[in-house]
């Protein structure tokens, strides 16, 4: 009897040790990840400012930062993994929609269609993303280090109120500007007849994606408003599981 109790205690201790090691590892990884992402977006911000100060125009700005942007935005896919393995308390779906829509904007719109890279709307969403990400990743970093300045917390849970709609406007205007080029070039489209007997029209796919902002964006926005009430006003929010 005594020995089984002892076994139980030993097992519990081992489990607790494993959990502690796992959470220490997760914290170390997240701290590294968030510092790297803050630095990446800071580099982007500085490159954009330097370009604009030197050239006095936004034309050519996208091309000058394209590589860095593609790298750091694509790297954010890891965040979906963080949610999936449970090291951050965030919904896989919410994070997945957010990250995939950004990657889609970078790779399948802005990077693929040269003719739209100098649109003002591209600069709009780039500036909005950059401010958002510097704030968001520095918030996570300082939070993990238990030294969170109030102004960063305030910025994380207030700036999105204006930045989120602005980002969406920038993205939608950019997709809209891409439509004529996509239609003319037939890019990423598969026409009939072909040996697989399938067709795909990227032009209509883009229109569907634009329409999908109508149901999806409010969900992301209201999610952030709930997070804001929880973090800034201490409200207890019960969220449905994925």
Ligand X SMILES: CCCCCCCCCCCCC/C=C/C(=O)SCCNC(=O)CCNC(=O)[C@H](O)C(C)(C)COP(=O)(O)OP(=O)(O)OC[C@H]1O[C@@H](n2cnc3c(N)ncnc32)[C@H](O)[C@@H]1OP(=O)(O)O
Q: Take residue 58 and report the two structure tokens written for it.
A: 């936004």
Per-position DSSP letters for 20-58, written without gaps between them: HHHHHHHHHHHHHHHHHHHHHHHHHHHHHHHHHHHHSSS
Minimum distance between the CB of residue 7 and ligand X, rounded to whole angstroms? 34
Judge whether 139 and 97 are in contact, CB under 8 Å: no
**The total number of residues written for the chain in this structure:** 242
Catalytic residue among 137, 139, 171, 202: 171
Our CB check for ligand X shows the closer of 146 and 195 to be: 146
Contacts of 62 (CB under 8 A, 6+ apart): 110, 117, 118, 122, 123, 126
- Among 210, 242, 220, CA closest to 98: 220
Whole-Å CA distances, 178 to 171, 175, 202, 210: 11, 5, 11, 12
Clarify whether 164 is annotated catalytic.
Answer: yes
Interface with ligand X (CB under 6 A), residue from 26, 45, 74, 164:
164
Contact between 100 and ligand X (CB under 6 A)? yes
98 forms part of the interface with ligand X (CB under 6 A): yes
* CB closer to ligand X out of 193 and 215: 215
Tell me whether residue 60 or residue 218 sits nearer to ligand X (CB atom).
Answer: 218
Write the CB contacts of 3 (distance below 8 Å, at least 6 apart in sequence).
none
Q: How far is the CB of 8 from ligand X (least distance, A)?
A: 31
Whether 5 is catalytic: no
What residues are paired with 221 via a beta bridge?
none
Which residues touch 149 (CB under 8 Å, ≥6 apart)? Answer: 142
Number of residues that bind ligand X (CB under 6 A): 35
Alpha helices in 146-201 (DSSP H): 150-156, 160-185
Answer yes or no whether residue 127 interacts with ligand X by CB under 6 A: no
Q: Which stretch binds ligand X (CB under 6 A): 13-21, 60-68, 147-155, 166-174?
A: 166-174
Q: Among 168, 175, 178, 206, which residue sits at the site for ligand X (rule: CB under 6 A)?
A: 168
CB-based closest residue to ligand X: 167
Three-point CA angle 170, 219, 210, nearest 5°: 40
User: Does 90 engage in binding with ligand X (CB under 6 A)?
Assistant: yes
Q: Which of 69, 128, 175, 182 binds ligand X (CB under 6 A)?
A: 128
Site for ligand X, residues 31 to 50, rule: CB under 6 A: 34
Which residues would be at the binding site for ligand X (CB under 6 A)?
Answer: 30, 34, 79, 88-90, 94-95, 97-98, 100-101, 104, 128-129, 132, 136, 140, 143-144, 160, 163-164, 167-168, 171, 209, 212-213, 216-217, 220, 223-224, 227
The residues that are catalytic are 164, 171
């Amino acid at each position: 009897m005594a020995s089984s109790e002892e076994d139980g205690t030993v097992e519990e201790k081992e489990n607790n040790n494993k959990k502690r090691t796992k959470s220490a590892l997760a914290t170390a990884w997240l701290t590294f990840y968030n510092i790297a992402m803050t630095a990446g977006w800071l580099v982007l911000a500085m490159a954009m400012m330097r370009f604009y100060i030197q050239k006095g125009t936004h034309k050519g700005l996208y091309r000058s930062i394209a590589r860095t942007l593609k790298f750091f935005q694509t790297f954010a896919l890891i965040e979906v993994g963080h949610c999936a393995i449970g090291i951050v308390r965030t919904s896989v779906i919410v994070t997945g929609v957010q990250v995939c829509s950004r990657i889609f904007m970078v790779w399948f719109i802005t990077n693929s269609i040269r003719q739209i890279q100098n649109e003002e709307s591209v600069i709009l969403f780039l500036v909005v993303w950059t401010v958002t990400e510097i704030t968001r990743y520095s918030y996570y970093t300082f939070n993990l280090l238990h030294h969170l300045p109030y102004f960063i917390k305030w910025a994380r849970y207030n700036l999105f109120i204006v930045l989120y709609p602005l980002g969406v406007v920038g993205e939608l205007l950019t997709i809209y500007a891409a439509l004529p080029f996509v239609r003319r070039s037939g890019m990423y489209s598969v026409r009939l007849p072909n040996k697989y007997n399938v067709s795909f029209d990227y032009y209509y796919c883009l229109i569907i994606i634009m329409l999908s902002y109508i149901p999806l964006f409010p969900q992301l926005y209201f999610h952030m408003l709930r997070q804001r009430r929880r973090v800034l006003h201490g409200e207890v929010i019960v969220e449905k599981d994925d």
